[in-house]
Amino acid sequence: MVLGDIVISNARVFPNKIGIADAQSGARLTWGEFNERVNRLSNGLIDLGIQKGDRIAIISENSSQCAEFQFAVAKTGAIGCPLNYRLHERQLEGIINGAAPKLLFVQDQYAGLIHALSSRLKGVEHFIGINGQKNFSLEYESFISQYPISEPKIDIKEDDVVMITYSSGTTGLPKGVLSTHKNRITYCIESCLFAEKFEHIDVALVSAPFCAGVGGQVQLIAPAFAGCTIIMYALKGNTWGEVIEREKVTVVLTTKSRMMPVMDFIRASGKK
């Protein structure tokens, strides 16, 4: 089994169930719709010349596009590189040039940062802007709308690398860690059977940034493996509590410090 099989299976078993909800933009995608969008993105990447083993990067807060990126990378055989948007220019320049992606997805609020770096980036052939702004020649929604919903026909093996995740660099420069499809599927099985014990009736909040391998990425794929509804949300102060209540979230994986705004919301609302 490889990561792309997760969304194919969910689209078949839970086609009309909300699979991915973006708490910022309000986008709500059933598993059937989500799989179609992943396929459109995958076919678009292939049309741009992205081949198995090529690297593509994204700089974005948690969003539905991050989830689509995760599974399009898996279906095309490319290697994803989520970038930490909290890093300064010099660190990002080093990571991007070290990872050598051919394509970079850029959420609108980071367009200025990437434009400032663009002349110093080696090997990036395409930039795709996220959120509908005309900051780059390619815009995400317009781009994927051109391509079919058919499954890409790429031979993916479980030992193929699917992600490069960079460390924070707290003891030196950030270091890239490779993850294979097998690594990630093994985590999903362990999470669903022994740790979080996700069930398809759960609503899971992706609370850690997508750029964090043991956070945003695995918090996404493990509940997806179980067919849960997944809420993509960027940490923004005490708004967490409101999102958890509104979306009826049943599972949150986070640290005590990250939960403090939620506890403040609960105390302020008088809820138990």
Q: Where are the domains of the chain?
A: 4-269
The CATH classification number of 4-269 equals 3.40.50.12780
pLDDT in tens, the chain (272 residues): 999 999 999 999 999 999 999 998 999 999 999 999 999 999 999 999 999 999 999 999 999 999 999 999 999 999 999 999 988 898 899 999 999 999 999 999 999 999 999 999 999 999 999 987 778 999 999 999 999 999 999 999 999 999 999 887 677 778 899 999 999 999 999 999 998 899 999 999 998 889 987 667 888 999 999 999 999 998 766 677 888 889 999 998 776 666 666 666 666 766 55
CA pair distance 104, 4, nearest whole angstrom: 21
Structural contact between residues 230 and 220, judged by C-beta atoms closer than 8 angstroms: yes
Structure tokens that stand for 72 in this block: 């399009």
CA pair distance 151, 36, nearest whole angstrom: 8
Exposure letters 21-45 (e unless 16+ CB within 10 A, then b)? bbbbeebbbbbbbbbbbbbbbbbbb
Structural contact between residues 90 and 66, judged by C-beta atoms closer than 8 angstroms: no
Q: Among all chains, which residue has been given the structure tokens 């031979």?
A: 155
Structural contact between residues 196 and 226, judged by C-beta atoms closer than 8 angstroms: no
